[in-house]
Structure formats: C-alpha cells, structure tokens
Amino acid sequence: MRLSQIFLKTQKNFPSDEVALNAKLLEKAGFIYKNLSGVYSFLPLGWMVMQKIMKVVREEMQAIGAEEIMMPALVSKEIWQKTGRWDAEIGYEVLGKNEKNPEFILGWTHEEVITEIMTHYIDSYKDLPRALYQIQTKFRNEPRAKSGLIRGREFIMKDLYSFHKNKEDLLSYYEKVAQSYHKIFKRLGLNSIYTLASGGAFTTQATHEFQVVCPAGEDDIFVCESCNYAENKEVSNLREGSKCPKCGGKIKKEHAVEVGNIFPLETKYSKDFELKYKDEKGEYQYVLMGSYGIGIGRALGTIVELYNDEKGIIWPKEVAPAKVYLIAIDKNGDDLYEELKNKGIEVIYDDRDIGIGEKFYDADLIGLPYRLIVSPKTGDKIEFKKRNENNVNILEKEKVISLILENN
C-alpha cells in the first residue's frame, strides 16, 4: 500500500481525553477515532488489524470443526424471560431495556438465541455434536467507559456455542476449545493464563477465563509462579504468597485483562428451552452445551497495552497491518516496493511528499515489524531495522527478503 493513498493521519500528541494507553496510542497513530465515551471507529489501518485478528480466530475455529453463522443483535424480551435473564440483568447495562415498551434488547451474549434455534434442528443423537460461532458487534451500556478498546459500549466479539450428547463429550470439546484459545492468543502475541472463575450470569458452574497480565487489566487474579495455575479473586481463597494448591509454588497477585472465557453450561439452557435429542435407545435426553467468548476489540486493546515503547506501537507479526515500512530517501523506491509485493510481503510504502523526519516518526508510531530504507547511501543494498530492536544493518536485498520471509 502506498501511504499517499491510504487514509491516515497521525498526531503529534496523545489525545487529551483518554486515560487508557491503548486508546492513546491507537488514536495518535491514526488507527481508531473516538466517537463517544466507549464508542470507537476503526479507521483503515485499525480495521486491517481487526481483520487480521478475525482471520486468526476464524482459522482456529475451523480447525476445531466450528462453523460460522450470524445471529441477530436484536433479542426478544420473551426469550430472555424464559431463562430469567430479563429480570436478573440490571436494566441500564442492556441497551433497549429502557424503551417505553421494550420488545427486544441488544443481546451481548446469545445463549438464548442459539438454544431456541437449535430446538428446530436437533432431533437425534446423529445431529450431535455441533459447534457454531459468530463474530458480531455487541452492545453494553457502560456510562463511564474509560478503558479504550478494553471495555466499550459497543464491541466486536466472537461467540461460540457447542452441543453434546453427554458430559464426557462436552468436557472433551471444552478442553479442545481451551487449547484453541491458547493457540489463538499465542498467535496474537498474548500469553493467556487459564483462570478458574465464577459463572456470572451464565451458569452456576465453575468456568474459566483467559487472562493476560497487563497494567491496564481490571481483574485481580492469583497465579502460581511455578505452574501458572490461576484463580480469579472473585472465587479464590488464595492470597499473595499463598501456596499453590496444585504444585505448592508461590502465588502472586496480578492485575489482568480477561480476553476470553469459556462456560460449561451443561443443561442450563437446554432445560429452559426443552432442547432434547433422541438417544440410541429412542429415549429423549437434554442436550449439553458449552459457550465460549473472545473479545476481538479487547484483544487488540490488550496487544497495544503490551507492545509499545515511548515512540509508538510495536505490532506482533501476525496482526501488524503490514510487515514492512518502506522509506526511500532521494531515490525511487518503486522497484523494491513492487518486488516485495511480488514476494507476497505486505508493505506500506511511505511515498508521501513530506520530510524524512516525519516518515521516521510515523514508522515508529505505526509500528510495523520491519523498517527498510533505500537511499544513495545504501546503494544497491537496503537499510534493515526491526521495530523491536535498535540496531540498524545495511544488507543485500536477497538477505533482507529472506530475513522477512523466514520470520513471517
């Protein structure tokens, strides 16, 4: 992409009305725009990153046999009354409930919706197991949202629901999803800690969260320094310095961000909706369910909280909007730009008619993994610098290309 043609304007200063580092950096670098408190627009570079994250999520969902669907955001009052959620939820958190004659709300989770759908499609044990997910915009009324993309009024989530014949099959898939989530977060550059948590509005069972230790986190978790066993403070009797119940190691308290969560719902929703299947003996049994969420925008916010320095963002490779930031000084960079593209390397070519200082500033702020410079000084060679390292090397073109491709 030629930067002269991309809609991008970086800022010289942090926005004055943001507290969260992720929002400050993403706004300064031109990735997002704040429309309202907790409500953001993704500008072209920001939307590219979101699409990269969604691509990773889709690939890993496909790998565990989950199929993509799209459910409506509008959820009827009736269906929420059926599970007791209509009365249980505090009104202002749910958009739509304060309508004069509320008929539906904007669902921020879809257990009711998917369970009702499945009553029409699951008849027999032959229809199980099944796993369906969606990537959807969700809404929650957070009047004092101030964590940037980590807690918003409007946010994009991946929610997955699974359906099983028996507890064994549910728990085996639950474990599969847990592994898939660790893989997803690893690809996104996030080290996720599997944390015991409470069921909240979803279930009375124990559930699990994927927590990422990060200064911006809103959750307190107790983590074992040796084996990574972790419990959310809400459900934990552990304290800083306690002995780990698994390995006897030392427990540490951390301020963390919940980037994913998984719930073994078992028959909670199937019972509310009479979701049953006929087993091998012809007898009707309740379907067992699990539900599993990942905050896509929240993951992006968490990545930025962790990957940055005083100059700007440092994108992990898999989610960077492009791999290479190319600057040509007193020289035409078109040939190299075309060659890199032809090799399948994503490049942002800063061909704007602005000063070199500004280009260096933006290269660091935008934070692509590799910065390449060609100039009369480099001759046939290329100046190569990684965003996360300080050393600069003048290398042969072939060497540069192979370094980028190897690390892709």
Which tokens belong to 367? 């934070």
State the nearest-atom distance from the C-beta of 33 to its own copies, in Å: 5
Which tokens belong to 302? 């968490």
Torsion 101-107-111-116 (CA) sign: positive
State the nearest-atom distance from the C-beta of 108 to its own copies, in Å: 13
Q: Nearer Cβ to its own copies, position 136 or 308?
A: 136
255-265: b or e for each residue (b if 16 or more CB lie within 10 Å)?
Answer: ebbbbbbbbbb
Q: Nearer Cβ to its own copies, position 260 or 321?
A: 321
State the nearest-atom distance from the C-beta of 78 to its own copies, in Å: 9
Cβ count near 395 (within 10 Å): 16
State the nearest-atom distance from the C-beta of 37 to its own copies, in Å: 10
Q: Nearer Cβ to its own copies, position 46 or 312?
A: 46
111-124: b or e for each residue (b if 16 or more CB lie within 10 Å)?
Answer: bbbbbbbbeeebee
Tell me the sheet residues that pair with 394.
383
Q: Nearer Cβ to its own copies, position 71 or 235?
A: 71
Which residues of the shown chain bind its own copies in the complex (CB under 8 A)? 5-7, 9, 33, 35-36, 39-44, 46-47, 50, 65, 67-74, 76, 95-96, 98-101, 104, 106, 113, 116-117, 120-121, 127, 130, 132, 136-137, 139, 153-154
Following DSSP, what letter does each residue of 191-214 receive, concatenated?
--EEEEE--TTT-SS-EEEEEEE-
State the nearest-atom distance from the C-beta of 357 to its own copies, in Å: 18
Q: Nearer Cβ to its own copies, position 123 or 225?
A: 123
State the nearest-atom distance from the C-beta of 228 to its own copies, in Å: 35
Q: Nearer Cβ to its own copies, position 66 or 368?
A: 66
Cβ count near 302 (within 10 Å): 28
